[in-house]
Structures are given as C-alpha cells and as structure tokens.
A = this chain, B = another copy of it.
Amino acid sequence: MELLKKKIVEEGRVLPGDILKVDNFLNHQVDVRFMEAVGAEFARRFEGVEVNKILTIETSGIAVASIVSKYFGYCPVVFAKKMDSLNLDKEIYCSEAFSFTKNRNYRIMVSKRYLSADDKVLIIDDFLANGKAVLALKDVVEQSGAELEGVGIVIEKGFMPGGQELRKSGVQVESLAVVKAMDDEGNIEFE
C-alpha cells in the first residue's frame, strides 16, 4: 500500500533495537481517516473470503480492528486481553505470547462467549515481527474450533520470522507494508 509506505517514511522514526515508531498515526495517536483506507485495502486483499468476526489483541490492534470492521460487514470485533482482570469470565481460551517491545512473556485471554466453532475469523494487528502475538491468537482460534480465514497486518517486519512462520502454516497473511530493512539513520527499505 503506497500511501502507507509514504506515511511510514514521512512520519515514522527508527529507534535503536529495530524499533519502528509510528505513534503518529497508529500506536498512540490514530489517524482514523487513514485507517479507513487501511480497512478498504484489507477488504480488497481478502475479497471473497467469508469473515464474520475480527479478532485482535490489546492495545494497538483495537483501533485498527474497530475501524476495519465496517469493511467486513460490520462484523463484531473481539479483542484478546493481555492480563488478568478481576471481572473477566472464568470461561476463557488462554495462550501465551512474547512481547518484542516489552521484552517479556504475557498471557492472552478470550472469553468462550465470543469465539466458537461457528466463527470465520480474520485476525487484525498493527505489527507483525516475531509473530508471537498472532500465533497466540491463532492458538485461541484453534482452541475454539473456529476457522482462521486470514491475518491482516498493517506493518510487517520482513526481516523477522513471524510472517514466514505464519505463511508456512498455510495462513493467508496480508501485510500492507513489509519492511525489509531499516537502520539507525532512519532509512527504511520495503519489500
């Protein structure tokens, strides 16, 4: 998606440790009109794919998924939660993931009320890097017996193994921008 690449180059910042900060439109401040263009692009890429639920993970995935939903027939968005909460159901699917930016493991949970064998699920997330968050979501989908119809990612770090691992497992992964390389001088190269 050319507009996205342009936005990453113009508004993104590369920080030491392979961190690409796109806080300006995706992770802290959200450019909602732009996210609608992202939604339309996902709809184009997954044309003909039947989806009745979008699954994402807190925090940064929620804005994208919520805006993308209307391009998939306003299907419900379920966001996996990252930690225990006193008022979360006991009846949950649970999996474990590793956070690249926070450098630690965490548990994710989805209530069994909101995911079942009837669902055709599109996973949406802001970033794909080591893939651990998406793999944990995929695990949750499999536990529920639902169909995983695809994975839509805004920015993939193509130099990290997540995308390859997911595609190898047979999942349709659509990343709207794939970063091939970046350096501390702020140069960003796309696939």
Residues of A that sit less than 8 Å from B by CB = 15, 19, 21, 23-24, 28-33, 35-36, 58-59, 62-63, 65-67, 69-70, 74-79, 81, 85-89, 101-103, 110-111, 113-114
Contacts and interface: CB of A to CB of B under 8 A. Distances in A.
Given A86-B101, A87-B15, A66 B32 contact: yes
Nearest to A31: B76
Q: How many copies does the complex hold?
A: 2
A103 B85 CA distance: 10
Contact of A66 (B67, B75, B101, B113): B67
A79 B31 CA distance: 12
11 contacts: A15-B87, A19-B86, A28-B78, A30-B76, A30-B78, A30-B79, A35-B66, A58-B62, A63-B63, A63-B65, A63-B77
B66 A79 contact: no
Contact of A79 (B63, B65, B78, B88): B63
A77 B29 contact: yes
A74 B32 contact: yes
